[in-house]
Structure 1
Amino acid sequence: MLGGVGAITRYLERVMAQARYDLLGPGRYVGELPEQGLRVEASHLEAAREALREALEAWLLEALRSGVVPSGLEGEGDPVRARFFALAGEMWRLAQEASGAARLARGQEGPKRKPASLEEWLQGLGLQLVRRPQPEDEEKEKVLTRLALFLGDRYPSLEKLYERLKQSLSTKRQFELSLAEASQDEIANSTQFCTMLKQYALLTSYHYKSEDRRLRAKASTEGWVQNFLTGGWLERYVAERLRKFLRSKNLPHEVAVGYQVALPGGEAMELDVLARVGERVYWFEAKTGEFQAHIAKYAGLKKVLGLSQKESFLVLLGMDKARAKELSALHGLTVVNQANFLEVFQEALEGNGP
C-alpha cells in the first residue's frame, strides 16, 4: 500500500518539474502550472515555489476526494499501485452513495458526478457536439483578449463610443463622436481604445481632432472583426475574467468558449462560455444588444443542460441591477452585467458547496 503513497510523491515532483516562474517586478514572482490551472504570486522565488507546491497538493487532494485520478497518476504497470487507487476510488464512490441516499431520504437532490472534461459532460447529457472550440493563433489571441479586457473593464467611460461603433458596423460607414462634454476619463479611454483598434487594423481609419474634441473612425469590414466588435469581445471578456479569478483561488477548472451542440429536437445552439469548477459546471451567455427574443430559449436550454438558476448566467452589457434582478426572477436565470457577474458567480460558487 505504501507504493501508492510513493507514487503520489513522485507525481508531485514530476509535475513541479514542469512549473514556470517569472519575475513580474521588484518583489513580485509568479509561479504557474498551466495544465492544472494553478498560478501563485510571492515576494521571492523560493516562496513562489513553496506556494505553488502547496496549491498543487490542495488541487490533487480535491481531485482524489472527488474520485478523479489525474493523468500520470494511474496504476498502469504496477498492480500494487493500481489496487491502491482502485480501493481509494471505491471507498469514495461508496461514501458518495451513502451521502446521496441520505440526501434523497431528506428530499434533497443527490450529488453530481464530477466530469473529467466539459466535452465529456456535454456528451453525458446526450448532446451531439457540432463544433468544438478551436485554438486561434497565439499572438492573435493575446491581442483580442487585451482589447476585450480594455473595453470590458472601462465600459462605463466607453459606452458612447461603443454604441456609435456598433451602429456604424451595420452601415459599414465612417462614424463621428463628439467628446466636447465628455469627462477626462471618457476622452482618454476613447482615444486610447481607438488607437489600439487602429494599431491592430480593426479600424481602417481613425482621427481625433483635439481642438473640438471630435473623433472620426471606420471599422474594418472583415468578418472576424465584425464578429468580435459586435459581441465576441464580451464572451472573451467573461471567459478571461473567469480564468483569472479561478486561478487566483487555486481552484481546478476548465473554461471554454464556443461549443456548439445539437439539441434533442435537432436545433443547433452555441454555448458562449462554459466553466467547470470541481464537480460543478456553470454556463454563461453574453449579449451586447437585444436579448428579449433569446431569453425564453436560454431558459429552456438551462433545463436541457440540467443546470440550476445559480449555475446559469445571462451577462447583459450595461444592464441595470434592479432590472436584472427582476429578469432573473421571471425567467429562472441569473441575469447580471459585465461589471458584477464575477461577484455574483463567486457568491454562487461559495453557496453551492456539497
Structure 2
Amino acid sequence: MLGPVGVLTRYLEKAMAQARYDLLGPGRFVAELPELGLRVEAPHLEATREALREALEAWLLETLRSGLLPPGLEGNEDPVRTRFFALAQEMWRLLKEGAQAPSSEAPKPLEPPKPRKALSLEEWLKALGIQVVKKPQEEEEKEKVLTRLALFLGDRYPSLEKLYERLKQSLSTKRQFELSLSEATQEEIANSTQFCTMLKQYAFLTSYHYKNEERRIRAKASTEGFVQNFLTGGWLERYVAERLRKFLRSKNLPHEVAVGYQVTLPGGEAMELDVLVRVGERFFWFEAKTGDFQAHIAKYAGLKKVLGLTARESFLVLLGMDKARAKELSALHGLTVVNQANFIEVFQEVLEGHAA
C-alpha cells in the first residue's frame, strides 16, 4: 500500500491533468482549474503551469488545515490516511500558534506590487530626449473622409496602380491626365471609376470624365496643399495606421497608434515620424513611402538607433515592393522592409514571436 505522500502526489497529478490552458494575447497565458476556482496568468506556458501547480498546492494545504477533505480524497476510512491528515492539521495548528506567540513578531504580509503604468507614446519620446514639436491632430469629419479614401486605395491597390501613377503625374505637371482602360479587367474598371468618383465628390479632383464607349478616364487633380500631401504619400501613412488599429482591436491588445508626430531629435534634427505604435509596454515605428526610398533608407537605419528599437520593431512600408527584394533590403539595412499588402502579417509574427 502506498503511503500518504503517494496519495497527495497522485491527487495533485490528477488535478493538474484536468487543467485548462489558453493564450489571451502576446505574453499572456492563462491556466485554470474551474472546479476549484483556481486561475493564474503568466508570460509563458511553462511558467503558467508552474504557477497553477503552486496555487493548487497552497489550496490543498489550506483545505487540509481547515479540517476538510478536498474533493477526490474522500473514500473508505483508511487509518493511515486518517492519521496523516490528523498530523497535517496538528502541524498547521502548531505553526499558527508559533506565529502568534508574543515572543516573536509575525511578519507583515507582502503587498502585491502595483502594476506599472505603460508609458504613452509622447512620454516614451521624451524619455529618449526627443522633443515633441507638434502632435498629430485632425478634425474628426476630415479624418473620416481621409481614412475612407486611404482604405479604399490601399485595399485595392493592385487594381488601382495605373490610375494612382497617373494621378501622381498630374500632381507634378498640374495638368489633366488620361488613362485608357480598354485592356483593363472589369475589377480595374470598376475600382478606378469608383475611386475617381469619390475623389471628385470630395474635390480631390477638379474635373473627372469617363467615356464608357472609349473606356477612357480624363481627370485633373486639385492643387490644394493637403490634397497633394495626401495623394503623394499621406494616404499610405493613414492606411498603415488604420489597419494597425483594426488588427490590435481585433486581438483585444492595449495599444496606442499615432500618425505624424513632428519631433526634434537629441542632435537638433527636425523629423516627422509617420506612424508610432505602442502595444502594452512595447513600441514600434513605421515609415511609409510611395515612391523613391533609396535616399532615405540610410537615415531610417540611423533613426532606429535613436529610438532604441530593434530591426524587428522598425518597419519600412514600401508601396508595391516585391517580397523577395524586401527581404534583401531588410538584411542590408537593419530594418523590417514590407509592402502595403503584408505588413500586418509580418507585424503579427513579430508580436507572437516575442510572446513565444
Identify whether the pair has TM-score above 0.5, normalized to the shorter chain: yes
What is the CA deviation profile of residues 95-121 of structure 1, one whole-angstrom value per residue up to 9, with x for unaligned ones? Answer: xxxxxxxxxxxxxxxxxxx63200000
Give the Cα separation in 1 of the matches to 2:294 and 2:266. 23
Question: Secondary structure at 2:112's aligned position in 1?
Answer: helix
The residue aligned with 2:36 is none
Counterpart of 1:218 (choices 220, 226, 248) is 220
User: 2:153 matched to 1:129?
Assistant: no
Structure 1-normalised TM-score? 0.68
- In the alignment, the residues of structure 2 paired with residue 240 and residue 333 of structure 1 have an alpha-carbon distance, to the nearest angstrom, of 21
Contact 2:159-2:187 at 8 Å conserved across structures: yes
The residue type equivalent to 1:247 in the other structure is: R
Q: Deviations over 1:116-137 (max 9, x none)?
A: 2000000111111111111x22
In the TM superposition, residue 199 of structure 1 has moved relative to its aligned partner by: 0.6
Aligned to 1:337: 339
Report if the CA contact (8 A) 1:310-1:348 is conserved: yes
Paired residues of 2:274 and 2:286 also in contact (CA < 8 A): yes
- Runs (4+) off by over 4 Å: none
- Matched residues in 2 for 1:89 and 1:164: separation? 59
Q: Cα deviation per residue 1:168-219 (whole Å; 9 max; x = unaligned)?
A: 1011111000001101110000000000000111101000011110000011
Determine helix, strand or coil for the equivalent of 1:224. Answer: helix
| Distance in 1 between residues matched to 2:112 and 2:212, nearest whole Å | 69
Gaps of at least 5 residues in structure 2 are: 1-41, 44-109
**How is 1:174-185 mapped onto 2 (pairs within 5 angstroms)?**
174-185=176-187
The alignment status of 1:232 with 2:241, answered yes or no, reads: no
Q: 1:119 aligns with which of 119, 122, 143?
A: 122
* Separation in structure 2 between the aligned mates of residue 282 and residue 191 of structure 1, nearest angstrom: 36
1:88 is aligned to 2:118: no
Q: Which residue of 2 aligns with 1:254?
A: 256
- Note the C-alpha offset of 1:278: 0.7
1:175 maps to a residue whose letter is: F
> Could you tell me which amino acid in structure 2 is paired with residue 163 of structure 1?
E
Residue in 2 aligned with 1:9?
A: none
Q: What residue is the counterpart of 2:281 in the other structure?
A: 279
2:132 partner letter: L
Does the aligned pair in 2 maintain the 1:115–1:121 contact within 8 Å?
A: no
Aligned AA for 1:321? K
Report what 2:266 is aligned to.
264
Question: What pairs up with 1:1-354 in 2 under 5 angstroms?
Answer: 87-89=111-113, 115-134=118-137, 136-353=138-355
C-alpha separation between the residues in 2 aligned to 1:316 and 1:240?
16
Cα distance in 2 between the residues matched to 1:116 and 1:195: 43
| RMSD of aligned alpha carbons | 2.0
Unaligned runs of 5+ in 1: 1-60, 63-85, 94-113
Aligned counterparts of 1:276 and 1:214: Cα–Cα separation in 2: 45
Partners of 1:262 and 1:126 in 2: how far apart?
A: 9
Does structure 1 conserve the Cα–Cα contact (< 8 Å) formed by 2:119 and 2:281?
Answer: no
SS at match of 1:89: coil
CA distance in 2 between partners of 1:214 and 1:190 (Å) = 11
Code of the residue aligned with 1:267 in structure 2: it is E
For residues 218 and 262 of structure 1, the distance between their equivalents in structure 2, rounded to whole angstroms, comes to 37
Write the deviation string for residues 305-348 of structure 1: whole angstroms up to 9, x where unpaired.
00011100000000000000000000000000000000000000
- Opposite residue 289 of structure 1, the aligned amino acid is G
Q: 1:87: how far off?
A: 3.7
- Match of 1:345, as an amino acid? F
Partner SS state of residue 121, structure 1: helix
Q: Deviations over 1:215-272 (max 9, x none)?
A: 0001111100000000000000000000000000100000000111111221111110
Separation in structure 2 between the aligned mates of residue 124 and residue 303 of structure 1, nearest angstrom: 14
Say whether the 8 Å CA contact 2:205–2:219 is kept in structure 1.
yes
User: 8 Å contact 1:312–1:334 — kept in the other structure?
Assistant: yes
Q: How far apart, in 2, do the equivalents of 1:236 and 1:130 lie?
A: 20
CA deviation profile, 1:254-306 (whole Å, cap 9, x unmatched): 00001111112211111100010011101000000000000000000000000
In structure 2, the partner of 1:109 is none
SS at match of 2:299: helix
Opposite residue 205 of structure 1, the aligned amino acid is: S
> Structure 2: which amino acid aligns with 1:192?
Q
In 2, the alpha carbon distance for the partners of 1:143 and 1:325 equals: 34
